[in-house]
Structure 1
Amino acid sequence: MQALLDVILPVFILIGFGYASVWRGYFSEAGVDAIIKFTQSFAIPCLLFRAISTLDLDQGFSVGLLASFYLGASLSFALGILGARLLFSRNWPDSVAIGFCCLFSNSLLLGLPITERAYGPDALVGNYAIVALHAPFCFLLGVTAMEIAKGSGKRFFGAISSVFWALTRNALVIGLALGLLVNVTAAPMPHVLTDAIDMMVQAALPAALFGLGGVLVRYRPEGDLKTIAMVCCISLVVHPTISWIAATSFALDRDSFRSVVLTAAMAPGANTYIFANMYGAARRVAASSVLFSTVASVVTIWLWLFVLP
């Protein structure tokens, strides 16, 4: 119970403030868009830059850690596709979009603050390694599966190329790349610059969580409740369970084990709806799954924190 009070509820109360402010009209949707723009284009890239620039790469980017998380993600993706197809008779593009909901954990806006509050900032090494590869891995896998499902072999390389160039222009990826460059080259950073960046970093997660709550207002709960329940089950229970088993087999150290399982236990991120909307497939399921799973994760994250070492 103490973990629920000390670790989880402050994060979700902040999300709730954002949700209630927009829902009741105290804060405009345009204002939320501005907050999201600020956090994702400036504050969070600064956070990732500082984290990666000082990260112990040998410890963070271990094969066992990354394999444990992404094996769980990939199998959850496959289970989501098969479940949507075989249990609910969705067409293949819809099934892939639903599988993507099971694949894409909210590793950044939920995974980082929950892990930090639970175990402290020194426990985030594994989280940052996962975040660094998360969007490229998930979108590459999702786009590949979707193009195969749509029978668009001729468009496959065009789609992959579009995703690649979009990622290279993404501020989060740029922040990660610059941080990696500083880390590898051991380039000196003047204190006046790092102090300014650190001031920006302090605003990153609180503002992002408030903005996430405001964005969730747009995801109206609608229909397809059985399919949404499947997505919640795979995202919040199956993915972390598979990652737990894999992390145990790789004999990960305590902090890496926690980062893998707890990040895998996060609700689907908003990028799941972006992916579904990009292909016009299962948009209602994607939107509702983000909302329902985020609410349900208050309980499931508490349970995972209870059983984690």
Structure 2
Amino acid sequence: MMTTLPVILPVFIVIAFGWVARWRGFLSDDHVDGLMRFAQGFAIPCLLFRGISTLDLGAQFHPPLLISFYAGALAGFALGLTAARLLFRRNWEDAVAIGFCCLFSNSLLLGLPITERAYGADALEANLAIISIHAPSLYAIGITAMELARARGESLLRLPAKVARAMFSNALVVGILLGLAVNLSGITLPAILTDALDLIVRAALPAALFGLGGILFRYRPEGDMRAILFVSAVALIVHPAITYALGRGFGLEPTPLRSAVVTAAMAPGVNAYLFANMYGAARRVAASSVLVATGLSVITISGWLLLLP
């Protein structure tokens, strides 16, 4: 583990700096919210746009990579939903929100920087291939499941419009779709524009990690500890284990296998809490799961890095 800690600890130290800054009052909640709006609403969409607009789609979008990762994610969603409903006796809305926590790993704020530190910037192409459909596909699953849970006999004719409206109001999805449009169209962007975008991109992950620390300060792992630990176990162990087994079974090369497993091994992201908060369902479980799983991931990620080739 000592060989992997220098790889992952700097990422968590930046998060800790944000936590301490909020704890000591150097930043207010409004400051943290503003920083996260910049990071998640502007800088990270620019990062996704730049990465996907130049991604070799033919080389990276191969089924074994995507199936390995997303089969694990969907299995996590099914486990979380079932356990919340049958084991923890939660209502259907809470069950969907808890399932979403098991579904949505922090592929951006943790997956990208940890993969880059462990394996270099050239290893990120497979990460970007996964991320390019991560938010659109998983939000579509979560929103559809939640709207079905809330419908209870109402007409489902308006469901596609609700899902589409929620998807296209997400800045991450917009950045991904614009990047795909530029990639597929073959448009060459002016160097002045790409240089400006690259300046913003360099600020994206540090700002987001620092802001994440401030966000995590608000959360307390109060109550519902069984559900919180269950979500953490599914996110940190079950999802990457399924991805690893399928990736090895498909014969994935070491580089995409590492990207898939490391991305799968990330704790639930803040988006898991935002989803729960949007619907007012299982908010305490979602918020606390982000905090607890992020702390535990220092240990579990080290284990996965040691296991990977």
Specify whether residues 169 and 279 from structure 1 end up closer, same or farther in structure 2 by C-alpha distance, changes over 3 A only: closer
1:183 aligns with 2:164: no
The residue that corresponds to 2:95 in the other structure is 95
The residue that corresponds to 1:201 in the other structure is 201
Given residue 83 of structure 1, which amino acid in structure 2 is its aligned partner? A
Specify whether residues 155 and 260 from structure 1 end up closer, same or farther in structure 2 by C-alpha distance, changes over 3 A only: farther
Deviation for aligned residue 1:160? 4.0
Deviation for aligned residue 1:33? 1.0
Give the count of matched residue pairs: 309
The residue that corresponds to 1:304 in the other structure is 304
Alignment partner of 1:89: what SS? coil
Map Cα deviations across residues 83-125 of structure 1 (whole Å, 9 max, x no partner): 1222222222222211111111011111111111111111111
Deviation for aligned residue 1:188? 1.7
Q: Distance in 1 between matches of 2:59 and 2:153?
A: 39
Q: Is the 8 A contact 1:144 1:156 kept in 2?
A: no
Q: Distance in 2 between matches of 1:6 and 1:263?
A: 18
Deviation for aligned residue 1:304? 0.5
Which residues in structure 2 correspond to 1:248-259 (within 5 Å)?
248-259=248-259
Q: Distance in 2 between matches of 1:155 and 1:304?
A: 45
Q: Distance in 1 between matches of 2:245 and 2:156?
A: 34
Q: Is the 8 A contact 2:136 2:173 kept in 1?
A: no
Deviation for aligned residue 1:151? 4.5
Map Cα deviations across residues 128-165 of structure 1 (whole Å, 9 max, x no partner): 11111112211221222223333435354534423322
Q: Distance in 2 between matches of 1:204 and 1:11?
A: 13
Given residue 246 of structure 2, which amino acid in structure 1 is its aligned partner? A
Q: Distance in 1 between matches of 2:178 and 2:277?
A: 30
Specify whether residues 166 and 149 from structure 1 end up closer, same or farther in structure 2 by C-alpha distance, changes over 3 A only: closer
Q: Distance in 2 between matches of 1:118 and 1:2?
A: 13
Alignment partner of 1:198: what SS? helix
Q: Distance in 2 between matches of 1:288 and 1:295?
A: 11
Q: Is the 8 A contact 1:101 1:231 kept in 2?
A: yes
Map Cα deviations across residues 174-214 of structure 1 (whole Å, 9 max, x no partner): 22222212212221222222111111111110011001111
| Unaligned stretches of 5+ residues in structure 1 | none
Q: Is the 8 A contact 2:4 2:306 kept in 1?
A: no
Deviation for aligned residue 1:2? 4.1
The share of aligned pairs that are identical, in percent, is: 59
The residue that corresponds to 2:78 in the other structure is 78
Which residues in structure 2 correspond to 1:1-309 (within 5 Å)?
1-154=1-154, 156-309=156-309
Q: Distance in 1 between matches of 2:185 and 2:241?
A: 38
Given residue 9 of structure 1, which amino acid in structure 2 is its aligned partner? L
Q: Distance in 2 between matches of 1:250 and 1:304?
A: 19
Given residue 215 of structure 1, which amino acid in structure 2 is its aligned partner? I
Given residue 152 of structure 1, which amino acid in structure 2 is its aligned partner? R
Q: Distance in 1 between matches of 2:145 and 2:176?
A: 26
Specify whether residues 195 and 233 from structure 1 end up closer, same or farther in structure 2 by C-alpha distance, changes over 3 A only: same
CA RMSD of aligned residues (A): 1.5
Q: Distance in 1 between matches of 2:200 and 2:111?
A: 20
TM-score w.r.t. the length of structure 2 is 0.95
Given residue 148 of structure 1, which amino acid in structure 2 is its aligned partner? L
Alignment partner of 2:262: what SS? helix
| Unaligned stretches of 5+ residues in structure 2 | none
